[in-house]
A and B are shown apart, each in its own frame.
Chain A
């Protein structure tokens, strides 16, 4: 499938600023946050600078410079704000994992592992940038990717390699390594959806009848929705993983909505999901317990210890936080992974947590901007879908930790401990950067002015 109809080309050419120098400055600046957190933790806990200050500085800032050089070399027109945001979040996550490492005696080294995963993530980012010269090549095999994604998603249910931990059956264990295949499935399915919906968008949008003011799709086009719907329920029921279920359903819904521009889809899908969620609430203990822990955690202190400890941590941190190393994040179970937002809230305060949410907001906004700017529909869909997965994860997990929503076990992108998530997210950043580079390349402006070019009249738009 190739780009179908292109508007006539005008004689003007749009050239975006590359802003690679700005990007480098911003990356180094963003990296100082995590790096500073690491140093302050050492000062507060041990009254001394860390022993390996110089080597860690070289590795950490070296990674930032390397990422920048890769981009400067291969994607000179890519968005200059995406990488700094990622480095800021990744650095804060590393610093907080290091800080929590210091609590038990003897101290742990999870932060070193996480740094290794970061390096591997960066390596895969580089690989994506070098191999995927044009993201449209991903458009070719939607069905294959879809099936591969499904298999990965359901792999933890397979005997022998499937592995449950913390109540959720979402890991596989091979040769002693644990991995969450859903993280990779997320990427494959996003690509598959983007390709499928882009191809079928007109059929999905135009066929069907009107019913109560909504454009209803044809029954046979409901097939993919039905598959996704069933899949989400499977994940919810058999893997005990509300978060992943929500994530895939959200991704799917947003992409079909963007592709078809029909509001009926999200309404239909949303109603289906709400119905399923209610059913899960009434028919599974798992969901009911989560909802109860959300609405009234103190009704069962022992069972809801995690969410209660997180609340205590946030309250103890207050507006400005206790300071790196001075809080008690170790009192919250899973403070390194699911609850890292609570640990950060305790030590850098509600304001720090808000700043982190803002940075996620910035990252997602740049992703949507990439989607809006992208001249090809597949890139638009893919960039928007991937950005939305970030937003949904942040909303679900930070909302869960702060008791805006029932808690679902999702990772906090780039911050939570865990290699699968970190590596997958770095790959997504690679894909986003490639799309962004293609979107911002100098290109002939189309005769029918696109929204991108008409920036004079909607200055106040949230995303441009």
Chain B
């Protein structure tokens, strides 16, 4: 009977070998895909509980990982003064992923980027728990607080940027929220907080500064004016400004909301008083192609290059004359994010050179070695410096004696443009103000979507300009 016993033993050896071969197969071929599976709680827990790097403003953390409660999550993400910074940091949650800088710098914050491989290996060898790298930002705490305070309960956004470098100094979207609620390790509480925030009428989770686009209204006249000057106009070039401009090929006509000061005025006067019919005529004379080319040079219809997620602003293509006239004053299908209008003002202020906006200035390991650092980058030259100077002159005039007078700050040279964008006759219009100061060299956009006030009181000058000056005062 020994023969069969040996054969059975060989059979058993084959069974055991199959087990070993299969475990080897798991280890070599299946591990990576299993660990990448979204429903793998072990991986998600470990990631969520990791000792993530901090996001810093100066030396102050606006997002950091602190010791958590238990074994499942030894660390928890915390946001000191989260309501002030949520539009920059974004949230970091177990069930709802990430946003803002938490998302765009996730790999370095988590310590999983390829640059950190060496650090990770050293951590394993020395038995340390691995830590992510810190992200330093260009933000200015005073400007950010001023922006959030000035926006208050209003639904709106404000961004400030040093136009010579592209450093974002403040980026706020209101109403704001506390991202700590979403990073709660009590997952039920985090889910409840998420659904409350998601379903709130005011849309606190929207990032109005970068992720949403709105009709830019009269602030778009800066782009129209830039196109005109590049086409050979000067601020003193005169243009018809009737009380009512019939839109070609339609029975409708365009009216003015302000007194233009005559039926034929200069381009400078038109910008100063935000004369619709004058700019409608400018648009008609230039034609849609030149307008579109200028808008696209400023970044419309192109992906934004900022280092957090941002929406693409739109300028319509293939439009007729009436649509061109409307588009020239920022109506019809023109839609811009506050960030996009900031780029327009900043480029004009920076003598025609457009800088790439950025928030993260450097990524630093815990041993203070620098992993990445950002240097100012030019995105292009949409307008010549001569054009920029003429536009600056017109914007300064607007603040000195035009619709932008509420934006005056004593002792500073300030240029700006107001905007009151009607988009639905039953809804309050959007209030805009874009502008810049010469010293400090900062461009600022203030945008109010809904302020819950009487609709006749809404105008860019009255509602948005004070936000502009508040931020500017904070940066002096």
In the assembled complex, B1 has its CB within 8 A of some CB on chain A: yes
Which of B38-46, B95-103, B165-173, B420-428 is near enough to bind chain A?
B38-46
Size range of the chain A interface in the assembly: 35 or more
Least Cβ–Cβ distance between A197 and chain B, in angstroms:
10
- Residues on A with C-beta less than 8 A from B30 are 311, 315
Q: Are B4 and A312 in contact (CB under 8 A)?
A: no
Least Cβ–Cβ distance between A164 and chain B, in angstroms:
29
Of residues 149 through 205 on chain A, the ones whose CB sits less than 8 Å from some CB of chain B are none
In the assembled complex, B3 has its CB within 8 A of some CB on chain A: yes
In the assembled complex, A350 has its CB within 8 A of some CB on chain B: yes
Least Cβ–Cβ distance between A370 and chain B, in angstroms:
10
Task: Tally B residues with Cβ within 8 Å of A.
Answer: 34
Interface on chain B toward A: helix, strand, loop, or mixed SS? helix
- Take A372-B6, A395-B19, A403-B22 as given contacts and tell me if A318 and B27 are in contact as well, using a CB distance cutoff of 8 Å: yes
A381 to B71, CA, bound (A): 51
Q: Are A384 and B18 in contact (CB under 8 A)?
A: no
Least Cβ–Cβ distance between A112 and chain B, in angstroms:
22
Q: Are B3 and A361 in contact (CB under 8 A)?
A: no
- Residues on A with C-beta less than 8 A from B1 are 258-259, 261, 377, 380-381, 384
Least Cβ–Cβ distance between B209 and chain A, in angstroms:
38
Least Cβ–Cβ distance between B389 and chain A, in angstroms:
63
A461 to B13, CA, bound (A): 12
In the assembled complex, B15 has its CB within 8 A of some CB on chain A: yes
Of residues 115 through 166 on chain A, the ones whose CB sits less than 8 Å from some CB of chain B are none
Q: Are A361 and B16 in contact (CB under 8 A)?
A: yes
- Residues on B with C-beta less than 8 A from A395 are 12, 15-16, 18-19
- Residues on B with C-beta less than 8 A from A451 are 2
Interface on chain A toward B: helix, strand, loop, or mixed SS? helix
In the assembled complex, A16 has its CB within 8 A of some CB on chain B: no
Selected contact of B43 from candidates A45, A316, A350, CB within 8 Å: A316
Q: Are B35 and A404 in contact (CB under 8 A)?
A: no
Q: Are B13 and A357 in contact (CB under 8 A)?
A: no
Q: Are A402 and B26 in contact (CB under 8 A)?
A: yes
Q: Are B37 and A312 in contact (CB under 8 A)?
A: yes
Q: Are A399 and B22 in contact (CB under 8 A)?
A: yes
- Take A259-B1, A384-B8 as given contacts and tell me if A312 and B18 are in contact as well, using a CB distance cutoff of 8 Å: no
- Take A315-B34, A395-B15, A402-B19 as given contacts and tell me if A258 and B10 are in contact as well, using a CB distance cutoff of 8 Å: no
Q: Are B26 and A365 in contact (CB under 8 A)?
A: no
A175 to B20, CA, bound (A): 42
Of residues 388 through 441 on chain A, the ones whose CB sits less than 8 Å from some CB of chain B are 388, 391-392, 394-395, 398-399, 402-404
Q: Are B42 and A331 in contact (CB under 8 A)?
A: yes
Residues of A within 8 A of B (CB): 45, 254, 257-259, 261, 298, 301, 308, 311-316, 318-319, 327-328, 331, 345, 350, 353-354, 357-358, 360-361, 364-365, 368, 371-372, 377, 380-381, 384, 387-388, 391-392, 394-395, 398-399, 402-404, 450-451, 461-463
Given contacts A257-B4, A395-B16, A399-B22, 14 further A-B contacts (CB under 8 A): A258-B8, A311-B30, A312-B35, A314-B26, A315-B35, A350-B26, A358-B16, A364-B9, A368-B5, A371-B5, A372-B5, A380-B2, A381-B1, A463-B5
